[in-house]
Amino acid sequence: MSLALELSELATEIAREAGELARTRRQEGVRLAATKSSLADIVTDADREVEALIRARLRAARSEDGFLGEETGAEGGSSGITWVVDPIDGTVNYAYGIPAYNVSIAAVRGEPDPRSWEALAGAVNAPALGEIFTAARGHGAWSDGNRLAVTDETPAGALLATGFGYDPATHEGDLATVGRVMPMARDLRRMGAAALDLAYVAAGRLDGYFERGLRPWDFAAGALLVEEAGGVVSRIDVDSSRPMLIAGGPDVHAQLVAILDEKH
């Protein structure tokens, strides 16, 4: 079995277990543990517990690998593989009881920096929606036994999604971006969970997605899903504090880049 498939199977198995833990904790009631970058950027006890579970399972299965997690940070490894983990992507949805949250687990090769890494495997599990999306480099993206494919034509305009992040100071700029993009859109969705937005692009449920300021764990698995489903993902302004991620089928991706990349 190829390394990518092996890693994808492990990511999927752990994402299933972690998703069940997240869902159980949600049913028991969520306790908010802290705020992070802004008042709206919350972390729940469950985020920490789920990340600890994922980290323990990975350490048991592949002790030489590195780890980069949203809640507990980075730890180097010696195998050249790093696991990039968001234990609960869409934490605000989770806290409010909106089912659009997920566990996102990716394995990347090379430096754990999205500017240079090569993603090999990814799993995005949305337990409250009953869906899991998986990908292995060179082996496609899959959900429930179905191979995923991005959309290629959008004659009535593109169904797009975006997110605004949690810092109120950035909302005005993000709304201005939305204004520039709307002429190519059929409509715009705002789900609040980046990995799920990307999984939906891979599944052809959205034609494209763009968001500024994502962190590596928000998109590591989802970006591979899109690429393995025949789509294109790029990041612009990568050296700024809020790089923009752009994903879609080849045509929609190109249209978004033409509108959003000033250097284009």
- Measured from the Cβ of residue 166, the count of other Cβ atoms closer than 10 Å reads 18
DSSP string, 129-173: TTEEEEEETTS-EEETTEE-------TT-EEEEE---S-GGGHHH
Query: Which residue blocks in 167-249 are alpha helix, DSSP H?
Result: 171-181, 194-202, 216-228
**Binding of ligand LIP by 165 (CB under 6 A):** yes
Of 70 and 227, CB closest to ligand LIP:
70
The tokens for 184 are 């190519």
- Measured from the Cβ of residue 38, the count of other Cβ atoms closer than 10 Å reads 13
The tokens for 56 are 């323990």
Task: Give CA angle at 77 (76, 79), nearest 5°.
Answer: 150
**Binding of ligand LIP by 86 (CB under 6 A):** yes
255 membership: H or E segment, kind and range: helix 250-260
- Of the candidate spans 59-67, 119-127, 157-165, 174-182, the one that interacts with ligand LIP by CB under 6 A turns out to be 157-165
Minimum distance, C-beta of residue 64 to ligand LIP, in the bound complex (Å): 27
**Binding of ligand LIP by 245 (CB under 6 A):** no
Closest residue to ligand LIP, judged by C-beta, is 163
Q: How many angstroms separate the CA atoms of 263 and 190, rounded?
A: 27
Strand pairing of 73-75 and 81-89?
A: unpaired
Of 90 and 249, CB closest to ligand LIP:
90
Short-list 223, 226, 243, 227, CA closest to 235: 243
**Binding of ligand LIP by 54 (CB under 6 A):** no
**Binding of ligand LIP by 49 (CB under 6 A):** no
**Binding of ligand LIP by 207 (CB under 6 A):** no
**Binding of ligand LIP by 89 (CB under 6 A):** yes
**Binding of ligand LIP by 91 (CB under 6 A):** yes
Minimum distance, C-beta of residue 225 to ligand LIP, in the bound complex (Å): 14
- Of the candidate spans 109-117, 145-153, 163-171, 181-189, the one that interacts with ligand LIP by CB under 6 A turns out to be 163-171
Of 100 and 149, CB closest to ligand LIP:
100
Minimum distance, C-beta of residue 52 to ligand LIP, in the bound complex (Å): 16
Q: Return the residues of window 64-83 that contact ligand LIP according to CB under 6 A.
A: 70
- Which of 163, 216, 222, 249 is in the footprint of ligand LIP by CB under 6 A? 163
Note whether 87 and 70 are within 8 A (CB): yes
Given the rule CB under 6 A, which residues bind ligand LIP?
70, 86, 89-91, 163-165, 192-194, 211, 213-215, 218
